Amino acid sequence: MPGCLAGLATPPPAALLLLLRGRSRMAFSAAAPSRAFQLRLNPLTGDSEWLVVDEEGEEGAAPPQTQRQLLAATSYLDMLNDAARNRAYRRAIDAAVSDPSARVLDIGAGTGLLSMMSARALGAVGGEGRGSVSACESYLPMGKLTRKVLRANGMENKVKLFHKRSDELEVGVELDSRADVLVSEILDSELLGEGLIPTLQQAHDSLLVKNPKTVPYRATTYGQLVESPFLWKMHDLHSNEANAADGVWLTPDGMENIVSVKLQQHAMQCDPLEDEIRLLSEPFKVFEFDFSERPESQRENKITIKTTGDGCVHAIISWWVLQLDSAGSIFYSTAPKWVRQSSIKDLPQCADDTKDWCDHWKHCVWFTQGRGAPVMKDQTLSLRASHNLTSISYQLLNPNDETCNGNLKADHLTLLPERIALYGDIYWRSALITAIKNALSDRSPQTCIVADDSIFLALLVSSLSPSSKVIAMFPGLRDTGATYLQAVAKANNFSMDQIKVIGKRAASLSADDLEHKKINLLVGEPFYCGSEGMLPWQNLRFWNARTLFDSMLSEDALIMPCKGVLKLCAMSLPDLWKSRRSLKDVEGFDHLVVNETLGACGDLPGEQQGPCLPYYVWQCGYTKKLSKVYSVMDFNFSEPIHSCFGKTKIEFSDAGTCHGFAVWIDWVLDEKNSIVISTGPDTRYWKQGVQLLSKPVEVNPADDSAALVEASFDPASGDITFSSSFS
């Protein structure tokens, strides 16, 4: 299950999880309650609040619904619906637990599935009462659920469960002796990001016998060179804004990398890009990690690659393959579809390669810098791969062993690939430039507030209106944003004397910051650093900021965008549905008890539906639109923030199975409604909200199928809730 050194759950996208142990060395079987504190971000204000997560419903604890929301946003449900993964682990554990006196340790227990598999395997070889199964799960909300699952399967006395990290376990205290079998699933899309190496190091040092059996037995990472115009746009901002030729330079000449994508592997579903990718090499092996041995903290590997065609290397797509058993007969692969369907030699083939789409493990993309590396067919390239405790990195070398990847300065801005692509998009840039030019025409010198973290708008307003005083809030970028603006000011024809970076949240703006002048122009994309993984309407933080500025606005203040429009489209999403569907039997173990807590779809009480969650819809496997796009409600930014309600009747344009709705916000930049930026599924740079139905519904326009969708916005929490009915 997800976690590092403790089985920490993957955090919800809108929350920063800080777990403080309320009671150290506390097994879940103890009578005294255990507590943890979790820091939750308020998306509308940027403020954070502590939530108490307790085991026994203590006074002051977060409401059960809040605790359920935290788990529903994790990848646990998707992982438990991955039948290929579950089957591979079950087979490997059955093979590994062959000694009736085996002592099994499960690190990062999750729902306890691997622990229960181990206990069952131990019982099958006559080990009940002789061997033992111990497990640790440090994330308390998950640990509470683990106990319920163990009880539901009569396993509470067969698995000893501890609420702590694995590095808090001690032989002679929690564990009677060192374990001779280790089972774990602390892997992310990159393999190492959840702390696999430090977890294995500490386990081999303190918790395991020499030469233990492990499940998995080995992991191997692979890579492949690709050319892809789409992936190129996600990292080469300088070339793309040069093509735009609109006079705004986020990356001026000589500072090409001052705004860049972070040099790391980026998790992404690459199968939808198959038709947009040109393969420039065969897959190549990068690193092997043997779980039965103490891993090194860092290694380097120089790989020789022969190219398979002419082109330009824009990225390295990587994945990993698990060998779960020592005999080499059980494999699980996260390879792209084009690799799994090939018959390439030296690549392990999964015995049952009917792997369904899943979201918990994606592919990874490492971007080459600049325009990429031009290559010719049959050219020999050298690639230097290295890893540290938590990540793998690459350096593509030319024949003279000089790196093709430029060095980045310490003060540059790093953004996600989707934002890099957006900032280089000529249509998006043109829309904002036109809207700002219109706003500034025939207006006197102004005090302009950039309410969010938009470096584009800060540069644009400053360069187009030299007589205006521009105040950039930059609540996320802060000092880094100020340093960046200073570096690019000259290239964009403005002086730093006319711009001031506050570096605070909206509530901190004072009349002194404005020099007691009124705000004439309030702008935002809106974009807030750190909000990329959130639901679309959590960028309504802009509306909340506008409300906080209300007394500081001039009577004729122009606000851009002037409104947001909640949009939706009925969708067939069979792959996403399968990954979020309710659980029953998982490899022989009852998991009904987890469905409500993990936000499952189908077979829930009444018409209860799971939460609306953020996804890049284009990465959600097979998708099909079943209706046109409908507007549900407007958010009018000329007014202070308030509750909103809307409803619309959906008429279906295509027959199929409706699994739910994709939901997003279109930002209307001008009062004439002539300049609109859509964040819907047709644009691949934003996540949409996906509201899955309690049960799929067959729809057909020939039958006059229709649905009524209602939505309600709560300004206190920033949440939008949905309900739907079909006729």
pLDDT for 25: 30
Mean pLDDT of the chain: 89
Same domain, 280 and 131: no
Extract long-range pairs of 395-401: CB within 8 Å, 24+ residues apart: 396/313, 396/316, 396/368, 398/373
Average of per-residue pLDDT across 402-408:
46
- Domain assignment present for residue 16? The answer is no
**DSSP at 111:** T
CA distance 547 to 565: 18
Q: Which of 491, 526, 559 is the last residue of a domain?
A: 559
- Domain assignment present for residue 3? The answer is no
Nearest of 457, 298, 283, 305 to residue 378 by alpha carbon: 305
Q: Is the pLDDT of residue 699 over 80?
A: yes
pLDDT in tens, 345-381: 666 665 555 568 999 999 999 999 899 999 999 999 9
- Domain assignment present for residue 64? The answer is yes
Nearest of 318, 316, 421, 360 to residue 684 by alpha carbon: 421
CA distance 477 to 345: 48
Same domain, 699 and 629: yes
Nearest of 412, 413, 498, 411 to residue 459 by alpha carbon: 498
Same domain, 513 and 628: no
CA distance 709 to 697: 14
pLDDT for 566: 98
Give the rounded percent of residues in the chain with a pLDDT score beyond 70: 88
Same domain, 436 and 311: no
pLDDT for 719: 92
What is the set of active-site residues?
Answer: 185, 194
Same domain, 462 and 527: yes
Q: Which of 176, 191, 215 is the last residue of a domain?
A: 215
Same domain, 45 and 123: no
CA distance 553 to 640: 12
Same domain, 117 and 151: yes
Q: When comparing pLDDT for 569 and 347, which is higher?
A: 569
Q: Is the pLDDT of residue 87 over 60?
A: yes
pLDDT for 346: 64
Q: Which of 181, 215, 249 is the last residue of a domain?
A: 215
- Separation of CA 366 from chain center: 16
The string over 74-103, giving b where at least 16 C-beta atoms fall within 10 Å of a residue's C-beta and e elsewhere, is bbbbbbbbbbbbbbbbbbbbbbbbebeebb
Nearest of 25, 9, 355, 65 to residue 163 by alpha carbon: 25
The string over 526-548, giving b where at least 16 C-beta atoms fall within 10 Å of a residue's C-beta and e elsewhere, is bbbbebbebbbbbbbbbbbbbbb
Same domain, 519 and 572: no
- Hey, which residues does 586 pair with through a beta bridge? 589
pLDDT for 532: 84
> Coil, strand or helix: which one is 286?
strand
Query: Per the structure, how many domains does the chain have?
Result: 5
- Separation of CA 299 from chain center: 27
pLDDT in tens, 31-61: 333 566 666 778 888 887 777 666 555 444 5
pLDDT for 392: 97
Domain span at 599: 563-726
CA distance 37 to 269: 33
pLDDT for 503: 93
pLDDT for 45: 85
Is the sign of the CA dihedral 351, 4, 62, 538 positive or negative?
Answer: negative
Q: Is the pLDDT of residue 221 over 60?
A: yes
Q: Is the pLDDT of residue 13 over 70?
A: no
**DSSP at 59:** T
**Residue written as token pair 């690639």:** 383
Q: Is the pLDDT of residue 549 over 80?
A: yes
pLDDT for 232: 97
Q: How confident is the model at residue 727 (pLDDT cuts 50, 70, 90)?
A: confident
CA distance 38 to 29: 22
- Domain assignment present for residue 673? The answer is yes
Q: Is the pLDDT of residue 199 over 50?
A: yes
Q: How confident is the model at residue 623 (pLDDT cuts 50, 70, 90)?
A: very high
Give the CATH number of the domain where residue 127 resides.
3.40.50.150
pLDDT for 371: 93
Same domain, 521 and 622: no
**DSSP at 282:** -
pLDDT for 442: 72
- Domain assignment present for residue 707? The answer is yes
pLDDT for 537: 94
Same domain, 642 and 700: yes
Q: When comparing pLDDT for 20 and 62, which is higher?
A: 62
Same domain, 96 and 44: no
- Say if residues 223 and 283 touch (Cβ distance below 8 Å): yes
Same domain, 555 and 616: no
Average of per-residue pLDDT across 86-91:
97
Q: How confident is the model at residue 344 (pLDDT cuts 50, 70, 90)?
A: low
pLDDT for 53: 66
CA distance 86 to 583: 13
**DSSP at 279:** E
Q: Amino acid identity, residue 494?
A: F
pLDDT for 443: 76
pLDDT in tens, 455-478: 999 999 999 999 899 999 999 999
First-last CA distance in the chain = 41
- Domain assignment present for residue 20? The answer is no
> Coil, strand or helix: which one is 50?
strand
| Max Cα–Cα distance, the chain, nearest Å | 87
Give the CATH number of the domain where residue 602 resides.
2.70.160.11
Nearest of 32, 41, 143, 37 to residue 538 by alpha carbon: 41
For every residue of 669-726, which 3-state class applies, written as one string? CCCCCCCEEECCCCCCCCCEEEEEEEEEEEECHHHCCEEEEEEEEECCCCEEEEEEEE
Q: How confident is the model at residue 607 (pLDDT cuts 50, 70, 90)?
A: low
- Domain assignment present for residue 119? The answer is yes
pLDDT in tens, 643-695: 999 999 999 999 999 999 999 999 999 989 899 999 999 999 999 999 999 89
Q: In what order do the strands lie in the sheet containing 519-523?
A: 499-501, 469-472, 447-450, 519-523, 553-560
pLDDT for 47: 81
Rounded to 5°, angle at Cα 235 from 230 and 237: 100
pLDDT for 73: 85
Nearest of 182, 196, 194, 399 to residue 287 by alpha carbon: 196
Nearest of 385, 225, 406 to residue 310 by alpha carbon: 225
Average of per-residue pLDDT across 200-225:
98
C-alpha distances (whole Å) from 264 to each of 227, 361, 386, 532 are 18, 16, 11, 17
**Residue written as token pair 């060998």:** 323
pLDDT for 68: 67
pLDDT for 145: 93
Average of per-residue pLDDT across 225-245:
96
Q: Which of 13-27, 132-146, 254-268 has the lowest mean pLDDT?
A: 13-27
Give the rounded percent of residues in the chain with a pLDDT score beyond 90: 78
What residues contact residue 151 under an 8 Å CB cut-off, 6+ apart? none
- Domain assignment present for residue 23? The answer is no
The phi, psi pair for 445, rounded to 5°, reads -50, 140
> Coil, strand or helix: which one is 158?
coil
